Amino acid sequence: MDSGYAPRAWKNNNILGSQVKEKLAWMLAVLMLVSVSAVHAANELEIGIWPYMSTQALIAEYRPVQAYLQKRLNRPVIFVTANDQKAFLKRTQRGDYRFVFTAPHFARYAELDAGYVPMLRPKRNSFAVFVVDKNSPLQNIGDLRGKTVTMTDRVTMIAILGLRALHENGLEPGKNVTVHYAVSHNSAVLDVSRGQSDAAVTGAIIFDQLPESIQKNLRILAKTGETSSMVMMANQNVPKDEVEQMKRVMLDFVDNTPEGKKFIKDTGYQGLRPPTEAEMKSLDPLVNDLKRQLKP
């Protein structure tokens, strides 16, 4: 029986037996597939995204970005993340990602300690908000003395901003305020909705994206200082012309395509622009807080 992979010229060749011809044809097909796969893998571009949402939510939000980059760069593009913030930060610092979308304090840490190069940031600043039940008697952060506050992993930007705000108002976790750490921003907010926590700390953009059914029963108690909500970085080993190409393609995506404009609307970024050196340097105090939180 002839193999479907055998070239037509081989099918009528009586010098080799049919079984030998079939084996050679299969070997050739396998070698071709392996070769194509190797070239495909070698050309594959991995981009890291810090896990600020569930993996499924990240996939849904960044799928249009992936599709556009593949089309414009003419190469396979894979977005990768990690199970948690610390694992993602470790991989970034190790230089695992060629490009990365990451939290601002992670970005500055990567710039200072791993040589990553800042590329783009959202035009809109972000900040953390303390949210409470709409009928709560609490009026300011100081009123949280003796209360319970829920936030995400203490290394996240939102948690660090929240902890700084508590400290600035004379509140110390474990002493005069109880802090619980949730698996996600949504979980933190739901603790308030369920009456399991007096307040939650979440991102302003994240709060804006909450379903109306949840948002209508909450109110913002206080806001923290502002910072960028994300920074796109390039590994120090990426050639400058490739970095510039990626910046142009990303800006073209958000500025000139329907999918890009929807992405900007859904994320609340209001567009992208390069961060200034001063903006990156302003993150240094938050990086110091991050390093303290990373200590065993």
**pLDDT tens-place string over residues 107-141:** 999 999 999 999 999 999 989 999 999 999 999 99
* Band of residue 26 on the pLDDT scale cut at 50, 70, 90: very low
DSSP secondary-structure letter at 53?
S
Q: CA 252, CA 68: separation in Å to the nearest integer?
A: 10
- Cβ 181 vs Cβ 153: under 8 Å: yes
Residue, of 18 and 61, whose pLDDT is higher: 61
Q: If you average pLDDT over residues 52-65, what whole number do you get?
A: 89
Pairing mode, if any, of strands 99-102 and 45-49? parallel
* Band of residue 39 on the pLDDT scale cut at 50, 70, 90: very low
Q: CA 131, CA 76: separation in Å to the nearest integer?
A: 41
Q: CA 296, CA 279: separation in Å to the nearest integer?
A: 29
Residues in the chain: 296
**Predicted pLDDT at 41:** 53
* pLDDT at residue 46 is higher than 80: yes
Of 50, 57, 62, 117, which Cα lies nearest the Cα of 89? 50
Of 87, 99, 98, which Cα lies nearest the Cα of 51? 87
8-22, 37-51, 52-66, 273-287: the lowest-pLDDT one:
8-22
Of 179, 155, 185, which Cα lies nearest the Cα of 167? 179
**pTM confidence score:** 0.81
pLDDT in tens, 208-248: 888 899 999 999 999 999 998 899 999 999 999 999 999 99
Class of residue 287 by CB neighbours under 10 A (exposed 0-12, middle 13-18, buried 19+): buried
Residue, of 256 and 83, whose pLDDT is higher: 256
DSSP secondary-structure letter at 233?
E
* Band of residue 290 on the pLDDT scale cut at 50, 70, 90: very high
**Predicted pLDDT at 229:** 87
Structure tokens, 7: 């070239």
Q: Helix crossing, 104-114 with 85-93: angle to 10°? A: 30
* Spatial CB neighbours of 132, under 8 Å, sequence gap ≥ 6: 138, 192, 198, 199, 200, 218, 219, 221
Q: Helix crossing, 284-294 with 104-114: angle to 10°? A: 90
Q: CA 185, CA 165: separation in Å to the nearest integer?
A: 17
* Band of residue 184 on the pLDDT scale cut at 50, 70, 90: confident
* Spatial CB neighbours of 122, under 8 Å, sequence gap ≥ 6: 228, 229, 230, 267, 268, 269, 270, 271, 272
* Band of residue 42 on the pLDDT scale cut at 50, 70, 90: low
